[in-house]
Structure 1
Amino acid sequence: MSEIQDYNSSVSDPSSRKFETFSYLPELGVEKIRKQVEYIVSKGWNPAVEHTEPENAFDHYWYMWKLPMFGETDVDAILAEAEACHKAHPSHHVRLIGYDNYAQSQGTAMVIFRGPISAKC
């Protein structure tokens, strides 16, 4: 029987906090983020970009960056919007979402840029 592996997380160490599924994996590089966007497009989901201050990352509501990109299939355009959001709000976490319009829910969501995390978060 295998043992359950714990992850190092501590309230006193803000940099160890986890945000959504992909935060338990090594940080996504540019090519891996591109692959995730390609997956969202291949599923026919509508991409969207959201952002928030690190201290509000666990709140239910994040700020939406423009409107969801309904029907957008250009991966470069989606990545450009995510980059624009990150450049406009460099101290915020930026999240990429794929909305599944058939299931009427989020098909995927991941933090692709992390803002600096302070001890007061």
Structure 2
Amino acid sequence: MRITQGTFSFLPELTDEQILKQLEYCLEHGWAVGVEYTDDPHPRNTYWEMFGMPMFDLQDPAGILLEIKNCRSTFPNHYIRVTAFDSTHGTESVVLTFIVNRPKDEPGFRLVRAEGPGRTMRYGLESYAVQSRPEGARY
């Protein structure tokens, strides 16, 4: 299962050159860029771990790409994303996110159904990342 979160998630993996172009776009608009990582990309898990500090004053996209590469080497089996913040409205608003690294085997999710009173059904998602069973042995 391929996680589809953020911009470009339905496209093939971005190359480092394409990532560099996106970083240039962010810096041209004056956005601060941060690098985040997680091993549990549940859609409600919006707060990923920060890798270093957000780069508010950095104007060279190559420096941000170096930080991405450092995060990839530190956490090769995690999801890594770039997040761009716009502070022109007085608050830090996320304006762009995209995934720049995925684990080799993406764990995916399963649909959990619970019956309620009467004929009501409630549905939720459970991440396979929280289970220790390998792919193919999850059901």
User: With structure 2 as the length reference, what TM-score do the two structures score?
Assistant: 0.70
Among 5, 21, 28, the residue aligned to 1:42: 28
1:112 aligns with 2:100: yes
Among 10, 14, 19, the residue aligned to 1:28: 14
The list of structure 1 runs, each at least 4 consecutive aligned residues, that deviate by more than 6 angstroms after superposition, is: none
Q: Partner residue of 1:5?
A: none
Structure number with the higher strand fraction is 2
Distance in 1 between residues matched to 2:18 and 2:3, nearest whole Å: 21
Give the aligned length.
105
Among 57, 61, 79, the residue aligned to 2:47: 61
The Cα offsets for residues 53-87 of structure 1, whole Å up to 9 and x where unpaired, read as 0xx11212100011101111011111000110111
**One-letter code of the match for 2:67?**
E
Distance in 2 between residues matched to 1:57 and 1:17, nearest whole Å: 8
Structure 2: gaps spanning 5 or more residues: 109-127, 130-139
RMSD: 1.4
What secondary structure does 1:72 align onto? Answer: coil
Among 70, 75, 99, the residue aligned to 1:84: 70
Structure 1: gaps spanning 5 or more residues: 1-13
Is the radius of gyration larger for structure 1 or structure 2?
2
User: RCO (CA 8 Å, sep 6+): is it higher in 1 or 2?
Assistant: 1
More deviation, 92-101/102-111:
102-111
User: With structure 1 as the length reference, what TM-score do the two structures score?
Assistant: 0.80
Residues 1:98 and 1:17: Cα distance change in structure 2 (over 3 Å): closer
Structure number with the higher helix fraction is 1
Distance in 1 between residues matched to 2:28 and 2:65, nearest whole Å: 15
